[in-house]
Amino acid sequence: MGPEEKNYPQLDLDLMATEKDLDRFDREILRLITDDASLSLAEIAGRVGLTPTPCWKRIRRMEQDGIILRRVAVLDPVKVGLPVSVFVEIETADHSSDWLTRFAKVIEETPEIVDAWRMSGDVDYLLHVVVRDIASYDAFYRRLIGSVPLRNVSSRFSMERMKAAALPI
């Protein structure tokens, strides 16, 4: 699956229209489910001051509009055996469509990569990788550099996660 087929937010020239279309009810619904996606529809509706049917319609519209991408559980990486976070900067000499398709496939198929961004500036891509230990990172690194041609790979190991927050809606 190529990068153009992914369901990740892209720069949208109509972004302001979408943001402007969110009223105070929508924003409060988003704040609530961002904090706890397991809330029942009745709980959400009660907290925002709506009855369940209009609340459900708003949630459904925001899902269809791609505002709500998915609902997930946030896990503690240490407690699930993945305490090491590494931020990997990648530079490539090849910016062709074929290379990008291959690289996007590597990203999609590599479970250690939990976030990936295409960047501006002197770094082409930034990956957030989680692993159990340094040996696991070394195995990941060897697979990565063997998968597609890369000009430079630079790794930075996180010492402490200082903040993990929801979007400031």
Answer whether 113's CB lies under 8 Å from 119's CB: no
In a domain, 71, yes or no: no
Phi, psi of 73 (to 5 degrees): -100, 135
Which DSSP string corresponds to 74-127?
Answer: PP-TTTTT--EEEEEEEE-S---HHHHHHHHHHHHH-TTEEEEEE-SSS-SEEE
Containing domain of residue 153, as a range?
84-157
Please give the pLDDT value at position 164. Answer: 87
Q: How many CB atoms lie within 10 A of CB 107?
A: 18
| Residue 130: φ, ψ to 5° | -120, 135
Q: What is the pLDDT of residues 78-98, one digit of tens each?
A: 999 999 999 999 999 999 999
Both 91 and 152 in one domain: the answer is yes
- When pLDDT is averaged across residues 145-164 and rounded to a whole number, the result is 96
Q: Is residue 25 part of a domain?
A: yes
Domain count, the chain: 2
Q: What is the CATH number of the domain that holds 33?
A: 1.10.10.10
Let me know if residue 42 belongs to a domain.
yes
84-91 and 125-131 beta bridge pairing: antiparallel
What is residue 152's three-state secondary structure? strand
The pTM score is 0.82
Query: pLDDT tens digits for 20-30?
Result: 789 999 999 99
| pLDDT score of 14 more than 80 | no
The reply to whether 88 and 60 lie within a common domain is no
Q: Phi/psi at 165 (nearest 5 deg)?
A: -135, 160
